[in-house]
Chain A
Amino acid sequence: MTLGTIITQLANGLLKSILIFSLTLIGSLPLGLFVAFGRMNRWTPFKKFALNKKSRLIGLVSSIKPVQMLIKLYISLMRGTPLMLQLMVVYFGPYYLLGISIGQNYRFYAVIIGFILNYAAYFAEIYRSGIESMPVGQYEAAAVLGYSKAQTFIKIILPQVIKRILPAITNEVITLVKDTSLAFAIAYTEMFTLARKIASSQTTLVPFVVAGIFYYFFNLLVAWFMERCENKLNYFR
Chain B
Amino acid sequence: MKVLELNNIKKAFGDLSVLQDITVTVNKGEVVAIIGPSGSGKSTLLRCATLLETIDSGEIIYLGEHAARTDASGHVQYEDAEQLKNIRSYFGLVFQNFNLFPHYSVMKNVTDALISVQKVQKGKAKERASALLEKMGLQDKADCYPYQLSGGQQQRVSIVRALAMNPEVLFFDEPTSALDPELTGEVLKVIRSLSEDNMTMVIVTHEMQFAQQIADTVYFMDAGRVVEKGSPESVLQSPKEERTQRFLERYSTP
B224 interface contact, C-beta 8 A: no
CB distance from A103 to the nearest CB of B (A): 47
Asked if residues B52 and A143 are in contact (CB atoms below 8 Å), the reply is yes
Residues on B with C-beta less than 8 A from A137 are 95, 97, 99
Q: Are B103 and A159 touching (Cβ within 8 A)? A: yes
- Expressed in whole angstroms, the minimum distance between the Cβ of B125 and any Cβ of chain A is 13
Residues of A contacting B102 in the complex (Cβ-Cβ under 8 angstroms): 160, 236-237
Rounded to whole angstroms, the CA-CA distance of A159 and B117 in the bound complex is 19
Stretch from B12-20, B84-92, B129-137, B207-215 that touches the partner: B84-92
Residues of B within 8 A of A141 (CB): 95, 99-101
Tell me the nearest residue of chain B to A163, going by C-beta: B103
- Asked, given contacts A137-B99, A160-B103, A236-B102, whether A144 binds B93 with beta carbons under 8 Å apart, the answer is yes
Chain A 71-130 residues near chain B, CB threshold 8 A: none
Separation in Å of the B196 CB from the closest CB of chain A?
A: 24
Q: Which of A151-208 contact B (CB under 8 A)?
A: 151, 155-156, 159-160, 163
A210-237 toward B: CB 8 Å interface, digit per residue (1/0)? 0000000000000000000000000111
Among residues 115 to 141 in chain B, which have CB atoms less than 8 Å away from a CB atom of chain A? 116-118
| Residues of chain B in range 34-68 having any CB-CB distance to chain A below 8 Å | 50-52
Which chain A residues lie closer than 8 Å to B85 at the CB level? 146
Q: For residue A189, give the distance in angstroms from its CB to the closest CB of chain B.
A: 44
- Structural contact, B118 and A140, CB atoms closer than 8 A: no
Q: Is A51 an interface residue, CB under 8 A from the partner?
A: no
Q: Could you say which residues of chain A place their CB within 8 Å of the CB of B113?
A: 145-147
* Residues of A contacting B247 in the complex (Cβ-Cβ under 8 angstroms): none
Complex-state Cα separation, A137 to B96, whole angstroms: 10
A41 contacts partner chain B, Cβ-Cβ < 8 Å: no
Given contacts A140-B95, A155-B112, A155-B116, is CB(A145)–CB(B145) below 8 Å?
Answer: no
Give me 6 A-to-B residue pairs in the complex whose CB atoms sit less than 8 angstroms apart, sorted by A's number.
Answer: A140-B52, A141-B101, A145-B161, A151-B116, A155-B116, A163-B103
Binding site for A on B (CB under 8 A): 50-52, 85, 88-89, 91-93, 95, 97, 99-104, 112-113, 116-118, 145-147, 161-162, 165
Q: What are the nearest 8 A-B pairs in CB distance?
A: A141-B99, A145-B113, A137-B99, A237-B147, A146-B117, A144-B93, A236-B103, A146-B88
